[in-house]
Amino acid sequence: MLTLPSNMFYTVTLPATLWFFDRAKQDDRILFIDTRNIFNQIDRAHREFSDEQIQNIAIISHLHKGKKEKFIKLIDRYFEQGMEKLLESKIQVKSISEQLLEVLDGNDSKDTVFDLVKQWSDLKKLRTRHGEYLKKKGKQASIEQINKAQHALRGDIEPFYDGLHQCLKRLDKTVRRHEKQLAEKAQKKGKRNATDKQTRELKTALEALHAEVKNAENFYKHIQWLQERFPLAKYEDVTGLCKSATPQEVREQDYSLNPGRYVGVVIEEDGKTEEEFVEELLAMNQELGSLNREARKLEKIIHRNVLKLTGEE
């Protein structure tokens, strides 16, 4: 029994429940899965599953049937896809670094760029570490050993992303400071506050890099999501997600087949990283500033028109 999130259909907003019947079942337990907290928000009124989210949900059923090797293979696939995305992103770093050095002034700004380049150079170590894991995996004797090796590999990758986010955060601050300096110079000269073409292109390139890094990191976040809920690479009941219920437990719930009655509730965070929160906050602040400027212009126009109408001008 699988409950879907609300707003997954264009004509129905309520969450639907899918029933899967398996005539080859070997036991009398019922697997309940609640996916109401798993979705991608398309717009205010519509949601969808990503391909990875569908695979993550499906793997719960495979684990419930004892197919641990499918779980291991899925984690391996995420490692490979994440590494491929990182290699694609690295190509952009050189051109963005050159743009940064052309546009930004000051030694501090240049040091920030050099730190970014240095952080990306650690990708070579990660590739080596991933290659070592693949070689050793072929020699591992059991699922349990491979699972431990996968946990260790994820532990090696996390510091790389932590350092990368710190570098990108410093770069964002540097670019914002540069924009502010340009605005102050323009104001002193009595010119309209406008960002120059180089800075606009740089911001666009940085946004693209942020998106690429996020896409690559998403694969490792899926690994983290799976390993935190099924650390031993085998099925277990997870509060707020899944429950393998006996017929007796179903009777105790008055034969309700609503997964929410069985899996329980867990308080979830919004899932935003610090960088995403800051980015969203700054975007909202920028929009507020734009609306305030427009409001002041309209206020002057209205005031002037009123004076004209009353003959007070």
Tens-place pLDDT, residues 126-182: 999 999 999 888 776 799 999 999 999 999 999 999 998 888 888 888 888 877 877
What predicted TM-score, i.e. pTM, was given to this entire model? 0.77
The 3-class SS string of 54-66 reads: HHHHHHHHHHHCC
pLDDT reported for residue 178: 78
Do the Cβ atoms of 75 and 150 come closer than 8 Å?
Answer: yes
pLDDT value for 269: 61
Q: How far apart are CA 239 and CA 232, in angstroms?
A: 16
pLDDT given at position 102? 77
pLDDT of residue 194: 59
Q: Helix 68-103 to helix 143-188 angle, to the nearest 10 degrees?
A: 20
What pLDDT sits at residue 119? 87
